[in-house]
Amino acid sequence: MQSRYESSPREVERMNTKELRENFLVEQLFWDDSVELVYTHYERLILGGVKPVKTQVTLQTYDDLKSEYFLERREIGIINVGGPGSVKADGQDFAAEKLSCVYLGKGTKEVIFSSDSAENPALFFVLSSPAHKEYPNRVFTKEDASPVTLGSPETSNHRTIYKYIHKDGIDSCQLVMGLTVLKSGSIWNTMPPHVHDRRSEVYCYFDVPENQGVMHFMGKPDETRHMWIQNHQAIISPPWSIHSGAGSANYSFIWGMGGENKDFTDMDFVNLNELR
pLDDT (tens digit per residue) in 127-183 = 999 999 999 999 999 999 989 999 999 999 999 999 999 988 999 999 999 999 999
What is the rounded CA–CA span in Å between residue 125 and residue 122?
10
Displacement of CA 139 from its chain's centroid (Å): 17
CA-closest candidate to residue 254, choices 218, 216, 212, 205: 205
Please give the helix or strand (H or E) that residue 10 lies within, else none.
Answer: helix 9-13
Asked if the model's pLDDT at residue 123 lies above 90, the reply is yes
Q: How far is CA 186 from CA 46, 160, 212, 217, 230, in A?
A: 30, 11, 14, 17, 17
Predicted local distance difference test score (pLDDT) of residue 152: 94
Residue 263: what pLDDT?
84
Instruction: Break the chain into its structural domains and give their ranges.
Output: 18-274
pLDDT at 248 over 90: yes
- Within a 10 A sphere around the Cβ of 219, how many other Cβ atoms? 21
Q: Residue 3 — very low, low, confident or very high, per pLDDT cuts 50/70/90? A: very high
Average pLDDT over residues 29-41: 97
- Res 18 pLDDT > 90: yes
Pair 77, 165: CB distance under 8 Å: yes
- pLDDT at site 262: 84
How many C-beta atoms surround the C-beta of residue 148 within 10 A? 10
- Of the listed ranges 128-132, 195-199, 224-228, 231-235, the least confidently predicted one is 195-199
**What kind and span of H or E run contains 94?**
strand 92-96
How far is residue 32 from each of residues 47, 57, 115, measured CA to CA in Å? Answer: 17, 10, 11
Instruction: Tell me what percent of the residues of the chain surpass a pLDDT of 70.
Output: 100
Percent of the chain with pLDDT over 90: 92
Q: What pLDDT, on the 0 to 100 scale, is given for residue 267?
A: 87
pLDDT of residue 132: 96
Lowest mean pLDDT among 102-111, 180-189, 204-213, 257-266: 257-266
What does the mean pLDDT of the chain come to? Answer: 96
Assign 52 a pLDDT band (cuts: 50, 70, 90): very high
Q: What is the pLDDT of residue 191?
A: 83
pLDDT of residue 76: 98
Is the per-residue pLDDT at 14 higher than 90? yes
- pLDDT exceeds cutoff 90 at 37: yes
pLDDT single digits (tens) 59-116: 999 999 999 999 999 999 999 999 999 999 999 999 999 999 999 999 999 999 999 9
**DSSP character at residue 151:** S
**What class does CATH assign to 18-274?**
mainly beta
